[in-house]
Amino acid sequence: MRAASTTATHRLSATVELARDLIRRPSLTPEDAGCQPLIAERLAALGFAIEPMRFGQVDNLWARRGDEGPLLCFAGHTDVVPPGPLADWTSDPFAPEIRDGLLYGRGACDMKGSLAAMVTATERFIADHPAHRGSIAFLITSDEEGPSIDGTRRVVEALAARDERIDYALVGEPSSHRRLGDIIKNGRRGSLGGRLRVRGKQGHVAYPQLADNPAHRAMPALADLCAERWDEGNQHFPPTSFQISNIHAGTGADNVIPGELEVLFNLRFSTEQTPETLQQRIQAILERHGLDHRIDWRVSGHPFLTPAGALIDATQAAILAVTGAPSQLSTVGGTSDGRFIAPTGAQVVELGPINATIHQVDECVGVEELDQLSIIHTDILRRLLT
């Protein structure tokens, strides 16, 4: 890793400067490292009521300007994934550097750049429309990249308990594929994980008749699970998928038949399924093969879909106005914190930078891309709150 250059070739925008300030804070999940206070200070100057919400080890921020509907909420996270070996980075992941029009650093794309664009968009909008209708809010967590238990989920529960309702939620996940705004996420698949344990009997490999190899017993059932056609999907979602992510058995010795096999698997499922229907079908396949087994299930998210409406219309119109190009709706990809907001009845979309380098070494985002994103957000605010 070489030393980061500090030479500025041009004056940076407020959006890029804020993104750099956020990247400098090593906010590895669940640490916020001072990012939320920095954002809160900017929002307080605009008249936002600032409400830190800490649950467990997780810092969350709820900030709101206005007390009437409709309420448009910018949602995002300040936590980032670990950078990995520092020697693999061209420059320090927490010392942001601009090279060839790209801002480098951990979180530049996922999603500190988006947070910066949201803040500066709001500053611009309020300067032009100080008496805008409705309300603007920010829901920011430091637990999106982690277990997602004490973050957005808990904030949404606290808001519901006091009858505070979000009408529109704009999540800043990096949704774009080849150019800014080409993809808008208007939904996500559900996620069902399982830890399967298949029991056998440990023994010596030379005397298999005295043992019961759970790996041998489980393979035909696992092959059936992998080959199963769960559904055909629908017009909004691809077919449900089943993937094995880890298989483990044995003591580490090559002359011991294992006594137990452990398999981790995950299904990303559409609105054609529920966790209960999938669990029943998986159990039926395993029982058909006569396996002595148990499964521990984990539902980390249910599928959600925002249909055509005011938020999608405003987002697509803003992208077209700023970039000159249309956008496409999509539900592909992993889960996001939108899964906790959508069940409240809010319209939810995800819009953010090009996602080509997220979670990678030398993560980066285009400087002009961030500036354009900020303008898009301002235009969305204008279309919905004026």
368 part of the active site = no
Backbone dihedral region for residue 369 (phi beyond 0: left; psi -120 to 50: alpha; all else: beta): alpha
144 part of the active site = yes
**256 Cβ contact list (under 8 Å, min separation 6):** 202, 203, 204, 205, 250
Map tokens 């700023």 to a residue.
Answer: 322
The catalytic position among 97, 123, 144, 145 is: 144
- Taking a C-beta distance cutoff of 8 angstroms, is the pair 147, 292 a contact? no
The amino acid present at 18, given as its one-letter code, is L
Distance CA(299)–CA(340), nearest Å, equals 12
Residue 301 Cα distances to 145, 216, 279, 335, 342, angstroms: 14, 33, 15, 7, 11
Distance CA(17)–CA(21), nearest Å, equals 6
The catalytic position among 32, 59, 79, 145 is: 79
Which residues are identified as catalytic?
A: 79, 144
